[in-house]
Structure 1
Amino acid sequence: MCGLFGSLGFTPERERIDIVAHRGPDGSGWQEFRSGAGPVALGHRRLAIIDVSDAGLQPMADRSGRLHLVFNGEIYNYIELREELRAKGHVFVSDSDSEVLLAAYAEWGEDCLQRFLGMFAFIIWDEREQRLFAARDRFGIKPLYMVANRHGLAFGSEIKQLLGLPGLSGSMNLARIRDFLASGITNHTAETLFAGVQQVQPGCSVSVEAARPWTGEVSPRRWYAIPPSSGLELSEAQAAEKFRELFTDAVRMHLRSDVPIGSCLSGGLDSSSIVCVMSELLDRQGQGAKVNTVSACYAEKSVDEKPFMEQVVSQTGASPNYIFPRPEEVFARASDITWHQDEPFGSTSIFAQWCVFEEARRAGIKVMLDGQGADEQLAGYHSAYVYYMSDLIRRGEYATLIRTMAERNRYHGISFRDQVSRYVVPLIPPKMRSFLIRQRQSLVYHDWTNSEVFQALGPARSVIDVASEANGLPAITDIASFCLVLTMSSNLPMLLHWEDRNSMAHSIEARVPFLDHRLVEFNLALGNSHKILHGDTKRVLRSAMKGILPEPVRNRRDKLGFATPEQEWFRGPLKGLIKDGVEATLSRYPGLLDAAGTRALAADMLEGRRNVDFTLWRIVNLGLWGDRFNVSLG
């Protein structure tokens, strides 16, 4: 896990790699070249994980001196690839996966991407062919940002490396700002919240011929897409067996490391599964090693998951580390967290995740496994129920519908009336609705985003629709398409962004075994009944983990993740700071939001007239972001 920088045409500036020294405290490198399109520069900051010797320093050149590499990530199957390449005559002088990547590119060219099992963003300069090549892993686990204009082309691991380049205005991208404020979603298109800065999309690459003068344009190529599938026809037992096999192998591969390794443990189904499988694999190795876990806990029972964490720790004999995020630290650290995140973030749960990685660093853990990706692939979000229930109604399976509603009432405390209102009534012709549900007085609606600035952009569109179209994905019509869009476009890319920045801020490599592409392809191809069945989400994971997870954890139906007690905090110790933060955003960006509507919305939430949701933090954090990066309105 590292930081990289590459440029073509722009004046080389070494400080653009040094600004991300936190991503790689174990070494740095810089090299410049000449081309027909202008100067070429490669920069690297190293976090040594595989082969921690100086043999892994970058930029790294092949034996001929033709190819030069800067690389961020891990190729987990590097051992198998190295043996295959040795059989073809390649000679290796290190045990690093970086050298294997370089040899794989020399042997197979761009086709090497299809052979990699891992997370990666890398740049290769081909001195002989005068070609700059950059690529990003299948799901965008590792970041790769890009600026391309008439002045040149530049890549970076973080947006801050690219700010200030010629041709950038330093202003916000209003269309994506509106998406963020209205829905909390970012990273759902190639655009960022900074005008003129893009990201190389997951599963895409960029190749530029530099022998000729720079044209100012690039054309990214998609090298990976989820294989089409009509759905796997498997029994529950068969699906669980195959899932367990793939998941166990994914965790095994993600344990390859030459430095201490541990895991985040929230007490939920996903992270607990990782810890339990890690423990089994370490036991098989017979070295007596225990899993180091790090967890965030709270005094507020509504979000505290410590009893479930302790169940996992007790069963596995893990070495636990518990931290207790405090509300007074939220604003004390908010500006620094925002700087590391590069863009405003959606809730204080990012602060909780920050604290987990901070504690991991104190504990001397350099690699952390985490459970990102399972919810998106396996319909772990309750919003998936609208598609499940609509399908039951369409097929006339009313007994199953009633059973599902009963189990959701028992497991989640969602009343029948609320379920009918939320999931069933929208599917029924309007004239029939009054016979099923009495109309209740709705909360006052505050049109806080209805400003002249946003009106000038035209009618607002569903962020999910924008995400689907931007990535060439189908509209969401059922659980399968719901999981596909969340995995490849709308939710997961944003969560991976947050995880990458929070972990790298503390010089820790975060690994996500649920995103082994073999497992992802299997999960997305599974029939809907393996994802949601009655009151169960992530059904196949629950079935596969029988006998591996503690039963109270395996049978959990609530979902929290890195939740924080925002409602208690915002109405209590943080109330004044939230009010001040809302006013600061309105003052910094006058006209961006409807001021009266924004103040009324904040007052309703803070005074208890409606539940606190993530909207308040988005408004506050937008102003913090603008201050830290000096972002202009336009």
Structure 2
Amino acid sequence: MPGDAAAQERLQAAVRRMCDRMHARGPDAIGFCDDAGAGLSLGHRRLSILDLESRADQPMVSADGRYVIVYNGEIYNFRELRQSAEREGIRFRTQSDTEVLLELFAHQGEAMLPRLRGMFALAIWDRQVRHVFLARDPYGIKPLYVGRTKDGWLFASQVKALMTSGMVSNAPDPIGQAGFWMLGSVPEPHTWYRDIQALPAGHSAYLTESGMQPPRRFRDIGDAWRQGPIPVPEESMVREHVRAALQDSVQSHLVSDVPVGVFLSGGVDSGSLAALMKQAGSIDLQGITIAFREFSGRHEDEVPMAVQLAARYGVTHHIRTVTRQEFNDDLPQLLNAMDQPSVDGINTWYASKAVAELGLKVVVSGVGGDELFQGYSSFQRLPRLVSRWGRLSRLPGAKMLSRKAMALAVRRSGNQRWQHAPDWLRSISGAWWLGRGLFSPADLPALMGEDQAAAATQDFDPNSWIGRMSGILPADPRLALALIESTTYLRNQLLRDSDWASMDHSVELRTPLVDAMLLDALTPVLAGFAGGAGKAMLAQAPVPMLPDAIVDRSKTGFGVPMASWLAPAATLLGETHASAVAADWPRRWAMTVAGAMP
């Protein structure tokens, strides 16, 4: 919006502070575009991955001079889009995906969005109409936040960058903070702060002189699950379909002008991706495994299986051991990097640190495989639990007995959420919340104050909260869980943590299993298969397929020995009851990360 010279000077200074805060996201180049007449300032930090020359730096101006883009992410099909545009007479000056985005928008406007395969948070300034177009990828892999100031609006890839501007209030968002305490991550579009909101995944919006227009959805990943299963041919044909779709996604995610590595755990997701990357032509593929002495010789130890996978598929293997002392030393930097409170992300932060130590800028992660292929045990366990609970609750005296049992569970665990089990187990949403939950609504007044807690959770119902995050759920409970996991835990925690944790080390993290085109290709054919079949097909996609020892191994997750680490770290953090920290580390860790927020 137009403003006086002093206001423009304040804005430009704020944008430069924000870029300084995000230095690690783009240490290779920095650029600005200031339009005093419009009251606009754009800043960008670049991590050079495609077209390493300065001609591809941002902000980038369109060939006709009308549009200016700042953008974070990668468009994996940009070369195909470029070739199509060239056939229509569009000419390009760089070899970057940024310019393809910019020129597509100049010629097609927001109609280009469904054609994009990739992860993106973008802003395009229209000098003629004087508005900013914002858009974010369908899964929400890349974050985009908009902050309200007394003079107008700011937007950035990080909440903490907006707070660094000095122009956005730090007043709390009750729903955002309550969501964190209950689930361990802040639910979008809310953030930790009242005046900052995330642009929802799969949405676009315009910032105009009259304000921010309501976001408009251009893609809802939930539609893939809501359509349900389609008639499929015999299983062998489905396996070939799955293999082809995975090969296509992996090949797309390898587009780069710098080497691409892979996180290599001992599991099906990362093992399959590493094998498919090698088969797609990755030369001297670097695989990174994180090791912990506390896990040595135990089931949680990923190293033995990762070594076996690396040898089988010809991956150059690097094992990086992380110690408790290193965690203690790194804790201030880690908390500073964490953009919003989360009870996860430490594993990805250390894996990304190891990637950067090898001189790599890009790494592939297997995140999202459990949501796409229904790999969590909850996909089988929770539907059975809800069904059985429905039958048991109709028995005489069941209500009184269940209340007594849950009261005992609360006393033994100290976790108030169990008091809600008789009601929450009536629905798949409630059962999911009970399993994923951290704190109970009853705990919130002590954590965030009576007034804030009341504002956030009056008439609390997990079904309504899930509905706001996930939309209409499919009738099939397994498909409903896949949608819930993808639009809550995956989006609000795993993907967000992947972004801040990797970017703090100037590493771009790519997710071939979190891909809207892959989702469209696989969900209809996998929806009709029983639990576990999808993960088996993922393991069978490489040639040769993954070893039986990997496939048959029970899931461990990408874990960190936080319980043993946090007990001695409690002294560093000012805690006085180290044993309590170790006994209930997720909730104590939640208090730690929340306390570190500005």
Q: Tell me the TM-score normalized by structure 1.
A: 0.80
2:126 matched to which residue of 1? Answer: 126
Q: What does residue 256 of structure 1 align with?
A: 255
Match of 1:358 in 2: 353
**Separation in structure 1 between the aligned mates of residue 76 and residue 181 of structure 2, nearest angstrom:** 37
One-letter code aligned to 1:182? M
Distance 1:44 1:575, change over 3 A: closer
Q: Secondary structure at the match of 1:431?
A: coil
What is the Cα deviation at residue 305 of structure 1?
Answer: 1.0
How much does 1:545 deviate?
Answer: 4.8
Q: For each residue in 1:535-570, what CA deviation from the matched residue of structure 2 results, as whole angstroms up to 9, or x when unmatched?
A: x67344245457322221123232322x01223334
Please say if 1:27 is aligned against 2:29. Answer: yes
What value does the CA root-mean-square deviation take over the aligned residues?
A: 2.9
Q: Is residue 276 from structure 1 mapped to residue 275 from structure 2 by the alignment?
A: yes
Q: Tell me the residue number matched to 1:233.
A: 231
Q: Where in structure 1 are there 5+ consecutive unaligned residues?
A: 1-6, 284-288, 394-423, 584-598, 630-634
Which residue number corresponds to residue 518 of structure 1? 517
Instruction: Determine the C-alpha separation between the residues in 2 that align with 1:483 and 1:244.
Output: 21
SS in 2 for 1:147: strand
Residue identity matched to 2:281: L
Deviates more, 1:230-239 or 1:85-94: 230-239
Answer yes or no: is the 8 Å Cα contact 2:228–2:474 preserved in 1.
Answer: no
2:588 matched residue in structure 1: 616
- What is the SS of the residue equivalent to 1:93? coil
Higher helix share: 2
Show the counterpart of 2:143: 143
Count of aligned pairs: 547
Cα separation, 1, equivalents of 2:534 and 2:218: 32
Q: 1:225 to 1:215 in 2, by over 3 A?
A: same
How many angstroms does 1:40 deviate by? 1.1
Q: Alignment partner of 2:182: what SS?
A: helix
**Which of 559, 564, 567 is residue 560 of structure 2 equivalent to?**
564
Listed as ranges, the matches of 1:48-127 within 5 Å are: 48-127=48-127
Residue 541 of structure 1: aligned partner: 538
2:362 aligned residue:
367
> Does residue 298 in structure 1 map to residue 292 in structure 2?
yes
Post-superposition shift, 1:294?
A: 0.8
In 2, Cα distance between equivalents of 1:482 and 1:338: 31
1:341 Cα offset (Å): 1.7
Question: In structure 1, what is the Cα distance between the partners aligned to 2:562 and 2:164?
Answer: 35
Letter in 1 for 2:354: E
Q: What one-letter code is carried by the residue in structure 2 that aligns with 1:497?
A: R
Q: What are the Cα deviations for residues 273-305 of structure 1, in whole angstroms up to 9, with x where unaligned?
A: 11011111127xxxxx22101111122224211
Q: How does 1:282-361 map to 2 (within 5 A)?
A: 282=281, 289-299=283-293, 300=295, 301-347=298-344, 350-361=345-356
> Is 1:22–1:506's contact at 8 Å kept on the other side of the alignment?
yes
After the TM superposition, which of the residue ranges 474-483 and 365-374 deviates more from structure 2?
A: 474-483
Q: Which runs of 5+ in 2 are unaligned?
A: 1-6, 417-442
> 1-side partners of 2:516 and 2:201: how far apart?
12
**Structure 1 residues 92 and 217, CA, compared in 2 at 3 Å: closer, same or farther?**
closer
Mapped to 1, the partners of 2:587 and 2:463 lie a distance apart of 18
Deviations 1:455-514 (A, max 9, x none): 533447355641432453438860111111221334333211111111111111111011
User: CA offset at residue 164 of structure 1?
Assistant: 5.5
Helix, strand or coil at the partner of 2:111: helix
Contact persistence 1:566–1:612 (CA under 8 A): no
Q: 2:19 aligns with which of 12, 17, 31?
A: 17
CA deviation after TM superposition for structure 1 residue 529, in Å: 4.8
Q: CA deviation at 1:312?
A: 0.6
Q: Which amino acid aligns with 1:445?
A: G
User: Percent same amino acid among aligned pairs?
Assistant: 27
Cα deviation, 1:235-267, whole Å, max 9, x if unaligned, reads 432332211111111111111111111001111
Change (3 A) 1:96 1:19: same
Residues 449/207 of structure 1: CA separation in 2 closer, same or farther (3 Å cut) = closer
Are 2:17 and 2:165, in contact at CA under 8 Å, matched by a contact in 1? no
Q: Which amino acid in 2 is paired with 1:371?
A: G
> What is the match of residue 222 of structure 1?
217
Distance 1:365 1:166, change over 3 A: closer
Q: CA deviation at 1:333?
A: 1.9
Closer, same or farther in 2 for the Cα pair 1:164/1:570, shift >3 Å?
A: closer
Q: How far off its partner does 1:174 sit?
A: 2.8
Name the CA distance, whole Å, in 2 between partners of 1:123 and 1:279: 35
Please name the residue that 1:199 is paired with. 198
SS of aligned partner of 2:395: helix
**Residue pair 2:250, 2:276 contacting (<8 A) in 1 also:** yes
Question: What is the deviation of 1:141?
Answer: 0.9
In structure 2, C-alpha distance between the alignment counterparts of 1:462 and 1:544, rounded to whole Å: 41
Distance 2:461 2:8 in 1: 37
Matched-pair contact (CA < 8 Å) for 1:483–1:524: no
Would the aligned equivalents of 2:170 and 2:194 in 1 still touch at CA under 8 Å?
Answer: yes
Residues 166-205 of structure 1: CA distance to partner in whole angstroms, max 9, x if unpaired? 763213323322221222132x321101221111111011
Give the secondary-structure state (helix, strand or coil) at the position aligned to 1:282.
Answer: coil
Which residue number corresponds to residue 496 of structure 1? 495
Residue 119 of structure 1 and its aligned partner are, at CA, apart by 0.9
Q: What is the Cα deviation at residue 101 of structure 1?
A: 1.0
Give, in whole Å, the separation in 1 of the partners of 2:337 and 2:320: 21
Change over 3 Å in CA distance of 1:142–1:476 after alignment to 2: farther
Matched with 1:410 is none
1:531 CA displacement: 5.7
Tell me how far 1:104 sits from its aligned partner.
0.9
Conserved in 1, the CA contact under 8 Å of 2:78 and 2:97?
Answer: yes
- Three-state SS of the structure 1 residue aligned to 2:289 is strand
